[in-house]
Structure formats: structure tokens, C-alpha cells
């Protein structure tokens, strides 16, 4: 709300007192997680690259809607991605 030509907050801070600007300059801590988090389901799949038998999988519609979706598999060991139509 305006008061004496300045914007004043209900808490008493005014536009030119520097308190609001300082509050905007505060930086929050950012935590970086180095480990890989996989949320995809796992299924049995023979990897052609490393012969591992487990892979993450997901489905994606890559062609027209009257065609079946494409299945993607990502090896849990080497990370190689394979697809099946």
C-alpha cells in the first residue's frame, strides 16, 4: 500500500529501505546428487552389447497412431539403448 509516496508492506518494510532488495539477493543452498536415480521399470532382456539380462524399458509412440508403439530397452549394466518396433 502506498504511504508518503513509497510502497509499504504490511510488515513495515518500505520500497527504499533496502530490506526488500536484500531479501531478493539471498541465495538458497543447492544440493547436487551425484548418484543415478532410475525410476523406470526393469524387465528381462538380453543386451546385445554386454550380455546382461536386465534392462529398463519404456514405450513411446514414434509412428502414426494406427501403428503400435516402439519399445525401448536400456541395459542396467552398460546403459546401451535398444529398440523394438
Do the domain assignments include residue 80? yes
Do the domain assignments include residue 37? no
| pLDDT class of 72 with cuts at 50, 70, 90 | very high
Per-residue pLDDT of 18-55, as tens digits, reads 554 554 555 677 777 777 777 889 999 999 889 899 99
> Do 24 and 54 have their domain in common?
no
CATH number at residue 55: 2.20.25.10
Do the domain assignments include residue 15? yes
> Do 24 and 56 have their domain in common?
no
**Grid cell of 8 as nine digits:** 509499504
Is residue 84 over pLDDT 80?
A: yes
Compute the distance between CA of residue 3 and CA of residue 6 in angstroms, rounded to an integer: 5
Name the residue range of residue 46's domain.
42-84
74 and 83 Cβ atoms separated by less than 8 Å: no
CA distances from 32 to 35, 37, 40, 75 (A): 9, 13, 21, 25
Do the domain assignments include residue 33? no
> Do 78 and 48 have their domain in common?
yes
Q: Does the pTM of the predicted model rise above 0.85?
A: no
Compute the distance between CA of residue 34 and CA of residue 32 in angstroms, rounded to an integer: 6
Amino acid at each position: 500500500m502506498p504511504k508518503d509516496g513509497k510502497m509499504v508492506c504490511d510488515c513495515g518494510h518500505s520500497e527504499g529501505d533496502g530490506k526488500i532488495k536484500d531479501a531478493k539477493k539471498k541465495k538458497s543452498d543447492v544440493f547436487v546428487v551425484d548418484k543415478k536415480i532410475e525410476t523406470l521399470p526393469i524387465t528381462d532382456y538380453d543386451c546385445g552389447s554386454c550380455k546382461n539380462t536386465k534392462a529398463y524399458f519404456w514405450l513411446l509412440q514414434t509412428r502414426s497412431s494406427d501403428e503400435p508403439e516402439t519399445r525401448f530397452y536400456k541395459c542396467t549394466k552398460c546403459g546401451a539403448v535398444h529398440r523394438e518396433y
